[in-house]
Amino acid sequence: MNPSFTSTNGENVAAEASRQAEHLGDAASDTAARASQAARDRADQAQRWARSRWDDLQRSVEDQPYQSTAWALGIGFAAGLLVMAMLRGRR
């Protein structure tokens, strides 16, 4: 067996493995970059939606202050009943 032939094969195999690893690394990096961008886009979209809903709620409260107050009191009363029921249930 020729030692130079074996080392050349080994070097070729190592070089090919290195190229494949580099290709996989590049593919993983690209995938991570796309996932990161998609997450940023979704976060921006969610933030715009939340701001829009908040603006709608604020406008509704300003347009109908008495109805908004009645809803807030009703929700507070219901929440108080639930908390009291849970506290009494512990005893």
pLDDT digits (tens, 9 = 90+) for 17-35: 888 888 888 888 899 999 9
The whole-number average pLDDT for the span 76-89 is 95
Specify the long-range contacts of residues 12-20, CB closer than 8 Å, at least 24 apart.
none
Domain membership flag for residue 46: yes
Work out the angle at residue 52's Cα, subtended by the Cα atoms of residues 57 and 80, and round it to the nearest 5 degrees: 35
Tens of pLDDT along 50-68? 999 999 999 999 999 999 9
Number of structural domains, the chain? 1
- Is residue 14 one of the residues assigned to a domain? yes
Domain ranges, residue 14? 3-64
pTM above 0.75, yes or no: no
89 part of a folded domain: no
Asked, for residue 81, whether it belongs to a domain, the answer is no
d(CA 39, CA 36): 5
